[in-house]
Structure 1
Amino acid sequence: MRCGDWMSRRVEHEFSKLVREIRKEYVGCGPQQIRTRFVGPWAITEMTGNLTDVEKWMIDSEEGRRIIHETRTKMVKDIYKHAEVVEKLEKLVHAKLVTLFADINLASDVAITVFVFDRDIQSDARWFARSSVSRRTPVGSP
């Protein structure tokens, strides 16, 4: 793996941690597993282990599946309407959030959120990660 790829993965990891923290704050619990990949201006976040025990019980019926799907999808979109949440994401990737797409597959308990930014965050993540490493002060330096 090239150094730039490693740096980009580091920022993707930080993005995943931030999304998990946001979900915990606004939903009450976060996904069990989360992974983000940057592709051009997109941050694609895949989350597994999202459903609560009550939701797992509710998806046994068609009406329950409809309610959970609609509620989860709307709730996720509403979370990212909060200015303080958007600011945290934008600060991390140094780009403006343009829109997002969210969906959940209830049968497999996998949720995907695609964050669309105003520029290529994949390339920028490599540069910002490299520049933050180069600005670190060596141990013992003032």
Structure 2
Amino acid sequence: MSKKTKGQIEAEISELIMKFEKEYIGRGPQNIKTYIIEDNILIKEKGVLTLAEQQLAKEETGVKLIKELRVKLIENSREILSTLIKDITSLDVLAVHSDISTENGERIIVFSLEENLERKIMSK
């Protein structure tokens, strides 16, 4: 990892995740923000639901379908996402967690890393 600020790394991760989602899912979120917190990377996305998903979210069965689909997409792309994160941080990803709110169209993705990235950045 070259000598970049925390903000630069967070922006780079946001950009890569946005690009990945556009290519893999077909559209990215309206807004994305990344936070490096010790050995975690937290990504908060807004405006992730498609128009079809917004309609589905009006019913309980639709909410379940959306959540299952979005969790499956992240699970199936875990290896790709982990590689993207490692390319930027030089750290292995130990776990990936995600959840989506069908009420407000937000999604959270958390990457757990092998080491404290925040400390690593500050020590450079």
TM above 0.5, one fold? yes
Match of 1:87 in 2: 83
Match of 2:58 in 1: 60
Query: In the TM superposition, what whole-angstrom CA distance separates every residue of 1:81-124 from its partner, at most 9, and x where no partner exists?
Result: 33xx4322101011001111000011011100000110011122
**1:125-136 maps to which residues of 2 (within 5 A)?**
125-126=121-122
**1:71-86 maps to which residues of 2 (within 5 A)?**
71-82=69-80, 85-86=81-82
Pairwise CA RMSD of aligned residues? 1.8
Structure 1 residue corresponding to 2:17, chosen from 16, 19, 22: 19
Task: Report the alpha carbon displacement of residue 126 of structure 1 after superposing the two structures with TM.
Answer: 4.1
**1:109-120 maps to which residues of 2 (within 5 A)?**
109-120=105-116
Question: Is residue 2:33 matched to residue 1:35?
Answer: yes
Paired residue type of 1:10 = Q
Tell me how far apart the structure 1 counterparts of residues 16 and 119 of structure 2 sit (CA, whole Å): 20
Tell me how far apart the structure 1 counterparts of residues 122 and 39 of structure 2 sit (CA, whole Å): 13
Q: Give the gaps of 5 or more residues in structure 1.
A: 1-5, 129-142
Q: Give the gaps of 5 or more residues in structure 2.
A: none
* CA radius of gyration, larger in: 1
TM-score w.r.t. the length of structure 2 is: 0.90
Structure 1 stretches (4+) deviating beyond 4 angstroms?
A: none
Report % sequence identity.
Answer: 23
